[in-house]
Amino acid sequence: MAKQTTLDFPRIIEKIRFEDGSLHPDVRVMVRVFKTKSPQLASHLVITTNTQNKITSRDLHAQDEIQFHIQAEFKRRFGILYERTPNEFVFSSEKGEIISNSKLGQSFLAVVLKRSGDARSRQYKIWGKYYEQVFNADTFIETYLLAYRIVQYCEKRKKELLGEMSKSDPRRTLLANGTYHLARMIAFMWRKGDNWSDLQAIRTDLERIKDDPTLLEPYHKDALQQLTNIFDDNKEFWQDPSVALKSSELETEIEKYLYKRLAAA
């Protein structure tokens, strides 16, 4: 019979304890030290050396300079806590509205970059294909917040209307799942186009939303009706609305409607 060997776990554990601030002489710890003048190195090292761990793309970008920049500016200008990593402020003594970079990215992708389907169903693209378009130093901080506020209003209005709307109303599906499409349409109709280069206009619009919580209500009603009309005009969309809301075909139809409407104004 083979001799059974048992491991002396207490002794092993004792060797790696460091109650007095030092490791046991037998313990060896492998470390890597990098010296550089590049402020971006930390982020790049995390990305290239942590592929074996359960780390999301969002986590990998948390140390990017642009993420710290947005966080600092949100705090300084608006008193908003910008969340670079999940639950970053759970144990913080800081108080205030919390906006995650994930939600901010979705809002910007839908409202400014006009990628509503990706914002709704392919969030991973925010941290991959579209990352540098979504998060970049050339974008006004106010633009991020305005896009977020429009989506935030759509989320609020969705909850209100779903409680009032008949269960047989076909608009329920679009209302429940089309938040980012509606936000994109509302932004265009309210602001009369896709001009995101006028900082003063963006600041004015932020103040208008802040001063009048119901400002976007008629635009939301209009957008929901027009989105319904687009589905009615393209019957295949109704066959599987969930698939349609992910599609570039729907985005194309929305753009055609919006610019046709603008030209007729």
Instruction: State phi, psi for 99 to the nearest 5 degrees.
Output: -125, 125
The residue extents of the domains of the chain are 59-264
Q: What pLDDT does residue 20 have?
A: 55
Directed axis angle between helix 101-111 and helix 65-73, to 10°?
90
Q: What pLDDT does residue 30 have?
A: 66
Q: What pLDDT does residue 229 have?
A: 96
10-residue mean pLDDT profile of the chain (265 residues): values are 53 52 63 61 52 74 95 96 93 92 98 97 94 96 98 97 90 95 98 96 97 96 96 95 95 95 84
Tell me, what amino acid is at 66? Answer: I
**CA-based end-to-end distance of the chain:** 92
Q: What pLDDT does residue 265 have?
A: 75
Q: What pLDDT does residue 56 have?
A: 84
Q: What pLDDT does residue 26 have?
A: 65
Q: What pLDDT does residue 34 have?
A: 65
pTM: 0.80
Directed axis angle between helix 217-233 and helix 141-164, to 10°?
70
Q: Give dist(CA 45, CA 60) in Å, integer.
A: 9
Q: What pLDDT does residue 207 have?
A: 97
Q: What pLDDT does residue 147 have?
A: 98
Q: Give dist(CA 132, CA 154) in Å, integer.
A: 26
CA angle 214, 218, 220 (to 5 degrees): 90
CA angle 218, 214, 79 (to 5 degrees): 135
Element (H, E) at 83: strand 81-83
In DSSP terms, which residues pair with 81 in a beta bridge?
98
